[in-house]
């Protein structure tokens, strides 16, 4: 939806408060029904809906919350995009798991991190590899991106499926992912990523 002009200080304060609350909810894991309940609570929350009441109807607030800050949340906690500055938490960076899954000599090529899905180029001084990552529910997008990249890449693309710390691995799903990746001549691994406090620069 088109954004209605809201004073920057109001918009920034609302998004920061929203992200503070979302950070304790494990937003990507909860059901659509639970998310709907939270939209209602935020509309009624003085620090969110109360601040937006001069600019949106209750329904307009729900649409804005869903289509603007919450649509950007997954990228924001990757420290990617213009909404990253509002988050109270971020995921541990890909620079940690790249050496873990490819080897200690591998590093992210500067400026190569992108989105849809999250991806980068990694290099070890002599070779480069395409690496993309996401949660298990995004596997279809990761697979499609990696297969397309495999057509022109000099080395096998790598799919990294990540889980939040403490979340158990679905062994049956992982094995299916591994079989599909192997069938498509792709490399695949699972890693855990932790949440970190986002400290202001």
CATH number, domain 94-197: 3.40.1350
Judged by average pLDDT, the poorest of 2-16, 31-45, 153-167 is: 2-16
Best CA proximity match to 134, nearest among 159, 108, 171: 159
Which band of pLDDT confidence, cut at 50, 70 and 90, is reported for residue 200? Answer: low
Which band of pLDDT confidence, cut at 50, 70 and 90, is reported for residue 2? Answer: low
d(CA 114, CA 77): 14
Better pLDDT: 25 or 117? 117
Residue listed under structure tokens 């899905």: 117
Helix residue ranges, H only, the chain: 8-22, 32-44, 49-52, 58-67, 69-76, 94-102, 139-150, 171-183
The answer on pLDDT for 126 being more than 60 is yes
**Domain spans in the chain, listed from the N-terminal domain onward:** 8-89, 94-197
The pLDDT value recorded for residue 199 is 67
The pLDDT value recorded for residue 29 is 81
The pairing of beta strand 128-134 with beta strand 158-164: parallel
Judged by average pLDDT, the poorest of 20-24, 79-83, 123-127, 197-201 is: 197-201
The pLDDT value recorded for residue 3 is 64
| Other CB atoms within 10 Å distance of the CB of residue 175 | 10
The answer on pLDDT for 91 being more than 90 is yes
Torsion angle, alpha carbons of 83, 88, 92, 93, to 10: 30
Question: Tens digit of pLDDT for each residue in 58-86?
Answer: 999 999 999 999 999 999 999 999 999 99
Give the CA angle between residues 102, 103, 105 to the nearest 5°. Answer: 115
């Amino acid at each position: 939806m088109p954004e209605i002009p809201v004073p920057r200080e109001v918009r920034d304060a609302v998004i920061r408060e929203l992200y503070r609350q979302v950070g304790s909810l494990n937003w990507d894991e909860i059901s659509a029904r639970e998310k709907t309940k939270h939209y209602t609570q935020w509309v009624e929350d003085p620090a969110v809906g109360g601040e937006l009441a001069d600019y949106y109807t209750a329904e307009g607030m729900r649409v804005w919350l869903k289509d603007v800050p919450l649509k950007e949340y997954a990228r924001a906690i990757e420290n990617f995009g213009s909404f990253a500055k509002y988050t109270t938490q971020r995921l541990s960076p890909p620079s940690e798991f790249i050496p873990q899954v490819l080897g200690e000599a591998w590093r992210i090529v500067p400026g190569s991190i992108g989105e849809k899905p999250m991806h980068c180029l990694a290099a070890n001084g002599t070779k480069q590899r395409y690496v993309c990552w996401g949660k298990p529910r995004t596997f279809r997008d990761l697979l499609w991106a990696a297969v397309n990249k495999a057509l022109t890449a000099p080395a096998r693309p790598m799919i990294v499926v990540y889980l939040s710390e403490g979340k158990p691995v679905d062994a049956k799903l992982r094995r299916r992912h591994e079989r599909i990746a192997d069938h498509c001549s792709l490399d695949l691994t699972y890693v855990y990523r932790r949440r970190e406090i986002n400290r202001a620069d």
